[in-house]
A and B are shown apart, each in its own frame.
Chain A
């Protein structure tokens, strides 16, 4: 279970986002909808431990992650959180397989990759360089990298944002199927994907503060 308690985050441009207290139950899927800049991506980065809140607590499975060091949060992220970034965050000059194998640096077992590639129809592309792939294929590689470690929590930031609707829908379907039984939190502004989720959250109602001046995605705060 993921709990947010009185969490707020300030940015360099003095804008701030305050989140309402939230709870994400284990094994449920959540779709976070909202306008650009309402703090959706920031929320994912906070849960992933990539950034720290200025106030409040983030508690994951009873553990107050906000009290932990960056090192501990990194270790937790690589073991327990599968994060699918909006812009994939893949090393373009490396092969698809290398982008998965990179997790082995931290001792992550990537033996499930073959099955996931097969499930997503990517087994033929494993030795191709990422830069040779289409947007949809890159998104699938990002999904495999997020799921290969069999995480308890999957965070997906606009997983269909770079894809046309039909491919996006297919990717979303595949993601929802492969993530079944996990806690899946997906951020998007595309309401048409709502049918794939147990819960739909309007983030415009869950945040307050200088929302409209807040950075729109994680890249700007990293």
Chain B
């Protein structure tokens, strides 16, 4: 029966491929859209959930969150390191990680921080920079690959175009590829950023060169990432620091901003939700059109197969067997189409991985949401229905005449 069903499909190659293609494209796109949306959402909120609070200079909350978590956008400015010292004394705080972004290497951002910032990340070659050392760097996998840098090499960072720091950084390690923004960043000790900038200031003073507009970095950070002992402490910490005017020892005043990254990211995602819903609606429209197309193609196939069915009835093949024959054909077509749609969506996920990684999210091709399975099952059943209804109706007609 199966063999004959396959032969029957083979002689209707064009129609069969049309049905499969129609299902693969529509169901594949729908499943892909749902999966990417889900994983981006989960990924962004997952990253944001790691830190309880971010404290930085006043300005855009979104810019502070995006700059510290996804290394995008420019830093809002700087705040004194004394904020970190104060936070380290705070009973509500579990850990504090400094964050400074000031320089670049071949266009890749250089982030000065502590080794805590890279906890959970592994090096594929070499080792992490030492906490006590200076001018050591750990490169993201993509930076190393594109720049052709190896462990032990020395690299020169620059503050702006044409302004290269004189002291080179020694590459101590290269991070494992994560397909996230971490692949495109150079990490070093916070004190290295300070030292590089101190060196630069000295050069300017000695050389009496033209005045350069650049941020005072020594003793400053762009932001502080905080993990609290208890999630409820985050809210009180943010209340305490948000809008606070911090007086540094040198007498400078700095207006701080504090955010709960989850809240900020949720706000960003809510804005993005409208786009997400539009994508879902478009997918739903594609699916509905696909269902109609499947029904039309199947009915046309059955119409064309009417002569064949009648012929089989004439030679004595029972309607039960004919039903089974067409059911097997549709099962095979449906299964192949749904499987290919699923595979297509996974291939697309792999292809999109690097692009989405720029948002700090690693798309996992093996991640399957329950609704995806439901969606594919629905398409599979819809593919079967027209044939089943038609052949059952034929089966209900007693006799072959009329």
A contact set with B: CB distance below 8 Å: 12, 45, 50-52, 69-71, 74-75, 77-79, 81, 83, 85, 89-91, 93-94, 98, 101-106, 145, 221-222
Contact = CB atoms under 8 A, between A and B. Distances in A.
B315 A89 contact: yes
B311 A91 contact: yes
Contacts of A12: 402
Interface in B152-210: none
Nearest to A93: B11
B401 interface: yes
B321 interface: yes
A105 B311 contact: no
Interface string B1-31: 1001001100100000000000000000000
Contacts of B308: 91
Interface string B290-330: 00000000000000000010111111111001000100000
Contacts of A75: 316, 318
Contacts of A74: 313, 316-318
Contacts, number: 68
B317 A70 contact: no
Which residue, A69, A70, A83, has most C-beta atoms of chain B within 10 A? A70
16 contacts: A45-B401, A51-B401, A74-B313, A75-B316, A78-B316, A78-B317, A79-B316, A89-B314, A90-B311, A94-B11, A105-B321, A105-B325, A106-B316, A106-B318, A145-B315, A222-B310
Contacts of A91: 308, 311
Contacts of A50: 314, 400-401
Contacts of A52: 399, 401
Given A74-B318, A89-B314, A91-B308, A105 B4 contact: yes
Given A75-B316, A94-B11, A105 B1 contact: yes
Nearest to B311: A89
B318 A94 contact: no
Q: Across the A-B interface, give the 10 residue pairs with the lowest CB-CB distance, nearest first.
A: A78-B316, A77-B316, A93-B11, A51-B401, A105-B321, A89-B311, A74-B316, A70-B399, A50-B400, A74-B318
B211 interface: no
Contacts of A71: 318
Contacts of A78: 315-317
A68 B133 CA distance: 97
A94 B401 CA distance: 25
A69 to B, nearest CB: 8
Contacts of A105: 1, 4, 312, 317, 321, 325
B397 to A, nearest CB: 9
Contact of B400 (A51, A81, A101): A51
Interface residues of B, number: 22
A57 B402 CA distance: 21
A96 B156 CA distance: 78
A217 B271 CA distance: 72
Nearest to B310: A222
A94 to B, nearest CB: 6
B309 to A, nearest CB: 11
A142 B157 CA distance: 86
Contacts of B398: 69-70
A197 to B, nearest CB: 24
Contacts of B310: 222
Which residue, B313, B315, B401, has most C-beta atoms of chain A within 10 A? B315
A75 B319 CA distance: 11
A102 B11 contact: no
B59 to A, nearest CB: 72
Contacts of A45: 401
Nearest to A50: B400
Given A51-B400, A94-B11, A222-B400, A101 B4 contact: yes
Contacts of A79: 316
Contact of B401 (A69, A145, A221): A221
Contact of A94 (B7, B316, B317, B400): B7
Contact of A104 (B4, B11, B402): B4
A50 B400 CA distance: 6
Contacts of B4: 98, 101-102, 104-105
A51 B310 CA distance: 13
Nearest to B7: A98
Contacts of A81: 316
Interface in B360-402: 398-402
A63 to B, nearest CB: 16
Given A102-B4, A104-B4, A51 B314 contact: no
A106 B317 contact: yes
Contacts of A106: 316-318, 321
